[in-house]
Structure 1
Amino acid sequence: MNADAAYPSRSYLGLGLGLAALVVVLDQLSKWWILEVVMQPVPRVVEVTPFFNLVLAWNYGVSFGTFASGEAYMPYVLSAVALGIVVALFVWMRRAERPFIAVALGMVIGGAIGNIIDRIRFGAVADFLDFHAAGWHFWAFNVADSGITVGVALLLLDGLFESREKS
């Protein structure tokens, strides 16, 4: 069997990787701006709208603080797991037969890499987007988290509609 036969004739790898790079750049630039400009000289709450603030929250775990631990090695463990997931998603992206899948995977990969960079640099992920209503605050998040969430949502939507098309 030809080694190229496992991959589609048209590759969307460049599209997915380009979007992943864009998510990483936007994530890191936004975190730089928050850390070096907005939250200087001291972290504070910046009210942007009646339902949105800029804050600084350090997430030592993963989603919603899950697996947060005071252990010094934990950022490296979480980064290694995330890197393994990135590799698996990259393999999936290489085989993507449609641009929609490459876009979704690129968003997840870019978000994961953005948060890996934070864990290696700071030992935690910088979160700063705070939406709230009626006194209830959603968990603070960042651009990388947004990329992951939107990418996963697109993959779920694709799975939902793809299965209907095959029926």
Structure 2
Amino acid sequence: MAAASGTSTSALGRMWPWLAWALVILVADQVTKSLILDAYRLGDATPITSFFNIVRAHNTGAAFSFLADAGGWQRWAFTGIGVAATIFIVWQLRAHPEQKLFCFALSSILGGAVGNVVDRMMHGYVVDFLDFYARGYHFPAFNLADSAITVGAVCLVLDELLRMKKAK
């Protein structure tokens, strides 16, 4: 029984750096969103370059405003998905703390997902503020949480490709 407890404690101890990374992302995300909420009204924008603005946008939907006009139920559905993803990710971080790229990816997704869940719970929408555009096309506005989720997803794919290559 002591060996099982020691193994559990060891795995838990090895996952703390990944949880710390998720916390860094969460804090950076919430600080930047707070700055935008304090400095901008909905729809305000500041041009930064010929292809980038800082804006204040509210997203009641999912990625790229998917289901933004669904009537309100999506707030709770996406919050529930975020909570379920958090539980699953923490379980995976505990089970595989030695897999660095995998855990970096998951903890990046975790920090971003929790950041957006916090927004949904506090405001009823996610605060977006990064607006890229070219030749009249605007990519949907996004935030640091979305960026972390995207980087995490790319790293998950890369981790799997590397794992497959190593298995050959």
Instruction: Check conservation: 1:6, 1:95, Cα contact below 8 A.
Output: no
Matched, 1:136 2:137: yes
Q: Which residue of structure 2 aligns with residue 125 of structure 1?
A: 126
C-alpha separation in 2, matches of 1:4 and 1:93? 17
RMSD value over aligned CA atoms?
A: 2.2
Q: Which residue of structure 1 aligns with residue 74 of structure 2?
A: 74
Instruction: Check conservation: 2:62, 2:68, Cα contact below 8 A.
Output: yes
Q: Give the alignment of 1:48-63 within 5 angstroms.
A: 48-63=48-63
C-alpha separation in 2, matches of 1:6 and 1:50? 54
Q: Which residue of structure 2 aligns with residue 31 of structure 1?
A: 33
Q: Could you tell me which amino acid in structure 2 is paired with residue 57 of structure 1?
A: A
Q: Give the alignment of 1:90-129 within 5 angstroms.
A: 90-96=90-96, 97-129=98-130
Moved over 4 A (4+): 1-7
TM-score (norm 1): 0.89
Instruction: Check conservation: 1:12, 1:99, Cα contact below 8 A.
Output: no
In the alignment of these two chains, the number of paired residues is 165
Q: Could you tell me which amino acid in structure 2 is paired with residue 25 of structure 1?
A: V
When residues 57 and 20 of structure 1 are mapped into structure 2, their CA distance, relative to the original with a 3 A threshold, is: same
TM-score (norm 2): 0.88
The alignment partner of 2:48 has SS state of strand
Q: Which residue of structure 2 aligns with residue 158 of structure 1?
A: 159
Report the CA distance between 1:49 and its aligned residue.
0.9
Give the stretch that moved more between structures: 59-68 or 138-147.
Answer: 59-68
The alignment partner of 2:113 has SS state of helix
Instruction: Check conservation: 1:15, 1:102, Cα contact below 8 A.
Output: no
The alignment partner of 1:141 has SS state of coil
Q: Could you tell me which amino acid in structure 1 is paired with residue 29 of structure 2?
A: D
Report the CA distance between 1:77 and its aligned residue.
2.0
Identity rate of aligned residues, in percent?
A: 35
Instruction: Check conservation: 2:133, 2:139, Cα contact below 8 A.
Output: yes
Q: Could you tell me which amino acid in structure 2 is paired with residue 112 of structure 1?
A: A
Report the CA distance between 1:4 and its aligned residue.
6.3
The alignment partner of 1:126 has SS state of strand
* 2:17 aligns with one of 4, 9, 15: 15
For structure 1, the residue ranges without an aligned partner over 5 or more in a row are: none
Report the CA distance between 1:103 and its aligned residue.
1.3
When residues 164 and 5 of structure 1 are mapped into structure 2, their CA distance, relative to the original with a 3 A threshold, is: farther
For structure 2, the residue ranges without an aligned partner over 5 or more in a row are: none
Instruction: Check conservation: 1:15, 1:99, Cα contact below 8 A.
Output: no
C-alpha separation in 1, matches of 2:14 and 2:69? 38
C-alpha separation in 2, matches of 1:6 and 1:51? 51
